[in-house]
Chain A
Amino acid sequence: MADQSLPAGQGIQAGHGSETALDRTSAHGTYLELVHSWIVTVDHKKLGIMYIAYALVFLLVAGAEAMLIRIQLIKPHNDFLSPYSFNRMFTMHGTTMVFLVGMPILFGFGNYLVPLMIGARDMAFPRLNAFSFWVSAFAGLLLYYSFIGGVGLSGTGSAPDIAWFAYAPLTEKAFSPGHTTDYWAIAILANGIGSIGTAINIIATVFCMRCKGMTLMRIPLLPWLYATMSFLVLVAVSPLTACQAMLLIDRYLGGHFFDTQAGGSAILWAHFFWIFGHPEVYVLVLPAFAFANEIIPVFSRKAIFGYPAMVAASVGIGFISLGVWAHHMFTIGMTSFGNAFFTLSTMLVSIPTGIKTFNWLATIWGGKVRFETPMLFSVAFLFQWVIAGLTGIMLSVSAWNWQLHNSYFVVAHFHYVLVGAIVFMIFAALYYWYPKMTGRMLDERLGKWHFWLMVIGFHVTFDTMHFPGLLGMPRQIYTYEPDRGWNSLNFIVSVGGFIQAIAILIFVYNLIHSYFRGEDAGPDPWDAWTLEWATASPPPVYNFAIEPEVASRRPLWDRKHPEDPDSAFE
């Protein structure tokens, strides 16, 4: 076995054979048995798909909430939503997008791809994996149950209305009577437990389950970045879990952690929340980088430029991001040393991210670029990520931040990151790996429609959104006076939002349509190089019939080009 490289043919030949057909005809039992098989599964691929499906459902829900917000703000003195409903909508939009869309969809891809890419048969702890998923799913349902069961300010059927950062002392019993805040806190707590479980699992998988020959410097960049992201989850999501416990102690046991009337500190909550909140951005964006690291080389037909620098930069981003949290708190008031420290540490982040950006550009440079949908989204990501980074540097300067804090400029900045970078790369990843997961290609024509509408809608919304911010429009207001000069800007922002909504509906249609009618993908539709493309699409339960063995970073390149293998250069 020593001189055999990959289990060649296993995927390639089985592509049109029995293994591809296996999953699609797996309804050989009743529907009940099918549902049962998904509920009890510990297979990383099924759990990954469940994570992604769960996140996509919540993406639609939170997207609908965003639409309601935009309808309310489309003109001054609008009364489409009451102020109370408006508060609930932006709270639920933010909380859902971060905890029930962003984290689960990225964990879903991690679950699905990490074992395949490192040539393993499953995660290190399959049952922990299932546990983490179901705890997270429970958290999402619990949060949304508050719409029915939460007793808020205005009777039964309410939702949290404390904003996604839930500043104290608004969350205390005195100011948030009823149970909606409890639903929020317990949902975040449960979600945190699920996230920590998955993070432990991913770290253990990446370091302990690699196939033969896959040294640390040969792991594809995606598992590397997922390991970094998981480390961040361990040290950043845990504090959030801890401060939800404190909040619950305050609310249920009469504690005073954040109870300002009894000497508790609202600022402490802000620190604790942002100690989580800022690394959280990197928890979300590192997987987006990971997708770009896999997609851009394949569609540029070149190996990734500067692999070691990419690894170092990713780990560097992880570490630096732990020391920047108070840039969310400049207006709370700090010493000049504090202001200078957090300004400089925040600017420091731009060094490793700059390294990554230039490495992606260098990867594309001189490549034979194929502009298929995944690559289109990746190019848009590069462009938007740079702009998001630039407004980020603007906001990191404390003096500038004092002017613009909590304005729509900030909202535009972080939506540039969260939508322009992360959501775009999630779409790229779905177009790229959907064939692997289902065995069918997504429709390319619908994909182009989706991309162009999305990119136009995105820029109409979020480019424009910077300006009401510069003109002084604060975030989280339910309406505004007509004489502020924000009217037409807000109208344009809302119109852009609807364009994005149409794009996403096209995408959802594409997902469903292609599942039944899509072209057969075969095991390796993109002519890619990492191990997940060495097996059938969708992969069999055991992933690889023979455990693969690798000798370079691009094992499939070695197999396809025996005359010029990568392994000769390592």
Chain B
Amino acid sequence: MATVPLQHGNRDTEWKLPARGTVAMASLITAESSIFTIFVVAYLYYLGTDVQGPHPKDVLEVPWFYSACLLSSSFFIWLAEHAIDRAKMAAFRLWWAVTILLGLIFLYGTAVEWHKLIVEDHLTISTNLFGTTYYSLVGLHASHVVVGLLMMLFVMIFSLMGAVGPQHAYRVKTLALYWHFVDAVWVVVFTVVYVVGR
């Protein structure tokens, strides 16, 4: 079987494919968005249908401070991405640590809020439809924050051990993409639960 000399033109120089990490993370985000959509729809569908309280407007307070912490963490992780791109590892570690800290503060805020709801307002996941949908939607988001924090914590530990270098910029940015997603979802959850739902 003869080999055919085929005309390949100038493709040799310009054959570029999308990076698989980004494509995969985008796919994961698509899937996760569908999951969140279902929980958001359930929340909106059952909004105001409870006969027995507590109702959202009686017990929910808008978590301005904690939301600001989470949303601003997107900015700091962007600074960290910027720093690792320029091989400034000290700056990277600083901004990365700030991001983790802000994420932890947000989680603490959720914990405080849930503690108040459970102990003072006697709202649990089985109290009424508000309880069921509220805890599962906010809890779903919080569990994503936990996953994001765990992954970032690994990067932090490896980075402190000196195992993360500028050559890992792409991986770090892929992880940051996930964190940006977690933040963006909070905008939706915040709007639905604390603005529309209250």
Contact = CB atoms under 8 A, between A and B. Distances in A.
B11 A212 contact: yes
A207 B125 contact: no
Interface string B48-69: 0111000000000000000000
Contacts, number: 148
B132 A256 contact: yes
A5 B3 contact: yes
A366 interface: no
Contacts of B37: 239
B163 interface: no
B167 interface: no
Interface string A523-566: 00000000000000000000000000101000000111010010
A242 B38 contact: yes
B35 A12 contact: no
A208 B19 contact: yes
Given A204-B24, A235-B30, A256-B129, 19 more contacts: A4-B3, A9-B1, A196-B28, A199-B31, A201-B24, A208-B19, A209-B20, A234-B27, A235-B34, A239-B37, A242-B34, A242-B38, A246-B39, A255-B136, A256-B126, A257-B133, A559-B2, A560-B1, A562-B2
B6 A551 contact: yes
Given A2-B12, A249-B136, A264-B129, A567 B27 contact: no
Contacts of A567: 6-7
Nearest to A243: B38
A249 B132 contact: yes
B119 interface: no
B23 interface: yes
Q: Interface centre among B11, B39, B125, B132, by most A CB within 10 Å?
A: B132
A249 B2 CA distance: 64
Interface of B: 1-8, 11-12, 15, 17-20, 23-24, 27-28, 30-32, 34-35, 37-39, 42, 45-46, 49-51, 125-126, 128-129, 132-133, 136, 140
Given A212-B11, A257-B133, A265-B45, A124 B24 contact: yes
Contact of B8 (A2, A125, A199, A237): A2
A234 B37 CA distance: 13
Interface SS of chain B: helix
B4 A207 contact: no
Contact of B49 (A209, A230, A253, A263): A263
B132 to A, nearest CB: 4
A246 B39 CA distance: 9
B45 A239 contact: no
Nearest to A239: B38
Nearest to B133: A257
B15 A203 contact: no
A254 interface: yes
A376 interface: no
A466 B17 CA distance: 50
A564 to B, nearest CB: 11
A551 B5 CA distance: 10
Nearest to A203: B27
A204 B174 CA distance: 14
Contacts of A255: 125-126, 132, 136
Q: Interface centre among B30, B31, B49, B140, by most A CB within 10 Å?
A: B31
A263 B136 contact: no
A242 B8 contact: no
A262 interface: yes
A251 to B, nearest CB: 11
B132 A257 contact: yes
A254 B126 contact: yes
A12 B1 CA distance: 8
B46 A263 contact: yes
B45 to A, nearest CB: 6
B1 to A, nearest CB: 5
Nearest to B45: A268
Interface string A202-228: 011101111011000000000000000
Given A200-B24, A208-B19, A234 B30 contact: yes
Q: Interface centre among A210, A212, A236, A262, by most B CB within 10 Å?
A: A262
Contacts of B136: 245-246, 249, 255, 257
A369 interface: no
Given A2-B8, A208-B19, A8 B129 contact: no
A272 interface: yes
A304 to B, nearest CB: 21
B171 to A, nearest CB: 13
Contacts of A207: 17-18, 20, 23
Contact of B42 (A236, A238, A257): A257
Contacts of B27: 199-200, 203-204, 230, 234
B136 to A, nearest CB: 6
Nearest to A568: B7
Contacts of B11: 212-213
Nearest to A11: B1
A269 to B, nearest CB: 10
6 contacts: A205-B20, A208-B19, A208-B23, A230-B27, A263-B46, A551-B6
A483 interface: no
Given A234-B30, A235-B34, A203 B23 contact: yes
5 smallest CB-CB distances across A and B, nearest first, come from A254-B126, A238-B34, A208-B20, A242-B38, A255-B132
A560 B128 CA distance: 70
